[in-house]
Amino acid sequence: MPFILLAFSNKQDNYLEYLKKETSELRRILLGLQDKLEYEIISNATTEDLFDAMTAFHDQVTVFHYGGHADSLYLELENRPQGIEQFVQLLKGMANLQIIFLNGCSTQGMVSKILEGLGRDIAVIATSSKIDDQRAFNFSKAFYTSFTQENQTLSGAFEMAKSVLMQQISKIPNSGKVCRAKREIHPLR
């Protein structure tokens, strides 16, 4: 049975208004699928919380989702940044991991380090630039709503979420001046 581990971090000094909504909405989506998958949500994740969960569920997790501040070198957890090298070490212990969704700013730089560090085929969804909080929420919600539907593929869910995001961007006047989110999926090799 698929197992999704979701970790969210929302530091009070740089608060993301929509991250709490993302946590609630993904919980709602997944709650309706308890007979088809298992999940664990870590709110206000610290480095210790992440380590404990990734260790406890190391042989079960098929999807890892992170929501919060990030960049190409780290995930911004509640107590301190989780560097990419340490993050990859944690991921190495997760033998059944198939998908990583990094829903934070500029996480594309982590992709090659993750793929090289794991040395195996895995799909990674990452951002190539800064992303607006509301857009990150909308993308995540659209992705999981689509991905959890019967017979939906990973790439199909990604394209659906991307189209929702592009529709949102096109409705904003002078959208060229707005921080646009560019998302890429790095599919299974």
Domains parsed from the chain with CATH numbers: 3-132+182-186 (3.40.50.1460)
pLDDT confidence of residue 185: 52
Given this model, what pLDDT does residue 143 score? 97
Query: Whole-angstrom Cα distance, residue 97 to residue 139?
Result: 21
Supply 120's token pair: 């195996």
The C-alpha atoms of residue 22 and residue 20 are separated, in whole angstroms, by 5
pLDDT digits (tens), the chain, 189 positions: 999 999 999 988 889 999 999 999 999 999 989 899 999 999 999 999 999 999 999 999 999 999 999 999 999 999 999 999 999 999 999 999 999 999 999 999 999 999 999 999 899 999 999 999 999 999 999 999 999 999 999 999 999 999 998 988 777 544 332 232 344 554 443
Regarding pTM above 0.75, the answer is yes
Predicted local distance difference test score (pLDDT) of residue 169: 78
* Strand pairing category for 63-68 and 183-186: unpaired
Amino acid found at 88: V
Q: Please identify which residue in the block is written with the tokens 């909080």.
A: 133
Distance CA 173, CA 165 (A): 15
